[in-house]
Amino acid sequence: MDQTLLLNLLGAGVVLPPLLLFALLGLATLFARPLSEKASAVCTESAVVTGLLAAVAILGLMLATGMRYVPIEFGDWVVIPQERFHFHFKLVFDRLSVPFAILTFVLVGTVGAFANRYLHREPGYNRYFMLFAVFLLGMTLASRAGTIEVLVLGWELVGRSSALLVAFLHDRASPVQNGQRVWSIYRVADAAFLIGAIVLHHSTGAGDFAGLMGSGPWPEGVAALSSSQALIIGSLLLVAAAGKSALLPFSGWLPRAMEGPTPSSAIFYGALSVHLGTFLLLRVSPVIELSPWLSGAVVVLGLASAVFGSMAARVQSDVKSALAFASLTQVGIITAEIGLGFRYVALVHIIGHASLRTLQLLRAPSLLQDYHALENAVGGRLRRPEHIGPKWLSPQVGAVIYRFALDRGSLDSALDAFVVRPFVAVFRWCDQQERRWAACLAGEPIKPAADFDDVEGQP
């Protein structure tokens, strides 16, 4: 068989199973004909195993032939010549995307098997696995994207499924409100990403990563941009990565995202979704290297986020929030490694941290039981020290650091004031105008929409 044809078939074997899984579960949910739990589990497992085998086969073929860059073209889907824009569907397998592909399928399969038992007989079982399929499809597209348009598409699918699974338990107000917060902050990151993609198109005439990074496969490419262009585009992409990976100043939404079921917390904010921002920085790392100012900003942002996450993790009263901020600490360190140019170190760090954090989050419910058994064995509660700073700090300074960490740096209130509430206010106004128009057409009195503060205050 021709080598190019074989690579195309294997590439289709990576992308098509998640797409078919999403189509099957989505149509079953849409037509109110949900599959049985066993059928949903079998379909998910089949899609994951097929995609994993195809990704491993591509890795083996690349190692056997010495290839380091395997593009798979699907052609232009949208072309607007006067705007210098085209949607070019292209997937790439290289030293960055192949390890991330294998990591995605392994962890998604592990969490899917756990969720099959964890959500047994839950009313939203099929809804969960349908959103789970959306997430898998988004990660598949984002991690293998050969153009920035495909990466935006996968990015959006991951963000949408993440926010909906945070609000999965929608019979309570708190998950819905926290899902809204996550979605609002994601909108800021997505807006920065879209603007960066448009600026990139106008700067280079295309969104192809191969053309952007110049000659040489990842990580040896040299970006075909000037230093000023790299600073502008890289800054926009850094904001996008910060919002997606909960780096400062967007860290306030991360513990709130733990409102979702434990399996979604593990796969989203412990393993894959929280690393998607750092994956973006790795993909455009040649752009970062062109601007010393941008590289310095990446390092400073990463270290500041790591320090903040370390302080906040030490004072959390629940294990999922502690693990969330522990993840932030490692993601901050990974970001700093990217800014310093240690690309392979950052990639290995992502793989190791994602695997460890998935295990910890899935183990968390049992860990709590073990912790209570330990307390019963010692005959009392295990107390944490309130002085969380180094020993050479005075108790007064340690108390200040403790209160700062306990309050999470007041990021929750700041994000609510400057991001969430304005976002909700705009959409509430749009909703009110739609209600007015519908009531006018129907000749009915206008019913006011529920206020955000009223809903937030509900038990």
| Per-residue pLDDT tens over the stretch 162-196 | 888 888 888 888 888 888 888 888 888 899 998 98
What pLDDT is stored for residue 458 in this prediction?
Answer: 42
Other C-beta atoms closer than 10 Å to the C-beta of 386 total 12
What pLDDT is stored for residue 15 in this prediction?
Answer: 85
What pLDDT is stored for residue 450 in this prediction?
Answer: 55
What pLDDT is stored for residue 455 in this prediction?
Answer: 44
d(CA 87, CA 206): 9
Alpha carbons within 13 A on the beta-carbon side of 289 = 18
Q: Answer for the pair 328, 251: CB distance below 8 angstroms, yes or no.
A: yes
The reply to whether omega before 422 is within 30° of 0 (cis) is no
What pLDDT is stored for residue 95 in this prediction?
Answer: 87
d(CA 115, CA 260): 12
Other C-beta atoms closer than 10 Å to the C-beta of 289 total 20
Q: Answer for the pair 179, 169: CB distance below 8 angstroms, yes or no.
A: no
What pLDDT is stored for residue 72 in this prediction?
Answer: 81
For helices 395-406 and 292-313, angle between their N-to-C axes, nearest 10 degrees? 100
What pLDDT is stored for residue 334 in this prediction?
Answer: 95
> Which residue positions in the chain have pLDDT lower than 50?
387, 452, 454-459
Q: Answer for the pair 299, 340: CB distance below 8 angstroms, yes or no.
A: yes
Instruction: Tokens for 207, please give them.
Output: 């969104």
Q: Which residues pair with 72 in a beta bridge?
A: 91
d(CA 75, CA 90): 7
Q: Where are the domains of the chain?
A: 3-364, 409-456
What pLDDT is stored for residue 79 in this prediction?
Answer: 64
Instruction: Tokens for 123, please give them.
Output: 């009313």
Question: How remote is the C-alpha of 44 from its chain's centroid?
Answer: 20
